[in-house]
Amino acid sequence: MSLSLRDALIITVCVVVHLAYRYRNKSKYPLPPGMPKWPIVGNAFQIPASQQHLFFKDLGEQLGSKIFYLKAFSQDMIVINDVKIAQDLLDKRSSLYSSRARTPMLNDLIGINYFFPFMQYGDEWRSHRRIFQQYFSPKNMKKEEERTVDFIRKGLLPNLYETPEKFLEHLLNVVGGLITATTYGVQIHRVNDPLVEYQEHVYGAGEKAATPGQFLVDVIPQLKYVPGWFPGAGFQNVAREIKEMTEEVMDKTYDMTLKGIDDGSTSDCFVSWSLENNSGQANYDSQALRTKQIAAAIYKAGSDTRLASSTTFVMAMLLHPDVQHKAQAELDSVVGHDRLPDFSDRSHLPYINAILKEVLRYNPPLPFGLPHLTSGEDVYDGYYIPKGAMVFANSYAMLQDEETFPNPRSFKPERFMNADGTLRTDILDPESVATFGFGRRICPGAQLALSTLYLMFSSILALYDIMPEQDSAGKPIHVSPEFGGHSIISQPIPFRCKITPRKGKNVEGLLKDYLGHEVI
């Protein structure tokens, strides 16, 4: 009897996994506690494809451990639900914990090996990160802060004044537009910029592919060799489409900058700076390609996380008017009524800063992070950690820890405040711990992201009230704080609210110099 391709594939997978189990390292130390495993597949089909941070927070509580072990076929997995353990391993032993796992969908089929957040640890990753850090250094922050002010005052605030019901679209446009202008130096339409919308469409599809376990090929890597026409291999067609769109948008945005450099229409930006720095060098072509790749990574890494936090902020203000009013009173006291907040006010607005910290804590935008990969064997607290294990730092579990943050599902900026109105320094700070990752893989754009969020939050509250919509009977429509998504980003499920100019605020007068701009 002849075997079908499918039967042969299944038998091959089973044999390989069996051998991996049989000959795996026999350490004298036990593995961390974990779930019971099924034969051959381990825990592969017990792990949900989305909302994994919730699943693993609950699992850690059931196991009574802040570090635990799972296995998906031959892939070892370590999950960390505790800040100290994450710092001990990912920070203090970063030489062992700084690589990235290769996933068949993302790396092999789509081929996004050039996005440095997903790169394996090595010289090429160091080169990409170094170039990024050189541009986004403190000496360039003033210029980027000025660009941020422009986008919020010429874009977001007028849009909220004219069409407040479209606040979700406006948040997306200002976040995506600001990153696009910073990276490529192009002008952005104040409303529904088509380039921003296209990038969101393309990179949103890529985010889903980056979610561990989202596609069966990431669970059974051998399936990457199955042709797209084979039943159940639809992921091949998805990968091909994402690959084509990603390359198209990379080329399009990069070429727009090159054209703008030639005709003088491009403003100072990452791409123009990088190309100028490498002008005349023998390796210019390879550096130009690297510039294009880093530019694409900047948008992908920065847009959805900032959008998730800004949307969480609007929802929090809607659900907690007491917090909103307290923040507005602080703004009125410090900034007054005759101008808009700027970056010089930040150190004088402790409650606004506490709100920013609580937004990050309440809904960390990247709740399960991107998995690290061990480059060697290790032992921690008597537990054996295998070489080649994927290590997940569950920032959601860390920032929802009841011992550190009592009543963690309550939105309470006061938890970061002292009785005298100053910010606490004796509590875990989401701005510097967990939210943006750990070790050598910590997000290099964190400070710019925090600056953007601060100015967005303070500017919105200075001018507008955020209130529930009303039904036909005039009663407030209740909004539940629900979060979801089928990617690595956690953001509020779309909701509606009413955003209106604050009473006693001359909003039109404060915006008179900014209204009417079609492009930024």
514 within 8 A of 153, measured Cβ to Cβ:
yes
Classified as helix, coil or strand, 401 is coil
Cα 258 to Cα 273: distance, rounded to the nearest angstrom: 12
80 within 8 A of 74, measured Cβ to Cβ:
no
Cα 324 to Cα 272: distance, rounded to the nearest angstrom: 41
372 within 8 A of 100, measured Cβ to Cβ:
yes
E strand or H helix that includes residue 69? strand 67-72
Cα 456 to Cα 174: distance, rounded to the nearest angstrom: 10
| Helices 284-319, 194-210: inter-axial angle, 10-degree rounding | 90
Cα dihedral across residues 135, 310, 400, 48: positive or negative: negative
159 within 8 A of 190, measured Cβ to Cβ:
yes
Instruction: Tell me the helices (H) and strands (E) count for the chain, helix number first.
Output: 17, 11
As beta bridge partners, residue 383 has 380
Nearest to 71 by CA among 102, 32, 100: 32
Classified as helix, coil or strand, 227 is coil
As beta bridge partners, residue 34 has 69
Cα 212 to Cα 156: distance, rounded to the nearest angstrom: 34
DSSP-derived secondary structure letter, 437: B
Cα 424 to Cα 416: distance, rounded to the nearest angstrom: 5
Encoding tokens for residue 266?
A: 């491009």
Cβ density class 244-276: b for 16+ within 10 Å, e for less: ebbeebbeebbebbeebbeeeebeebbbbbbbe
Nearest to 294 by CA among 507, 89, 124: 124
Residues in the chain: 520
Cα 392 to Cα 317: distance, rounded to the nearest angstrom: 31
Contacts of 315 (CB under 8 A, 6+ apart): 479, 481, 492, 495, 497
Encoding tokens for residue 438?
A: 């750990």
The residue type at 508 = E
CB neighbourhood size of 45 (10 A): 12
CB neighbourhood size of 515 (10 A): 13
Nearest to 454 by CA among 304, 334, 310: 310
Q: Is 497 labelled a binding residue?
A: no
**Per the annotation, where are the binding residues?**
443
Annotated binding-site residue numbers for heme: 443
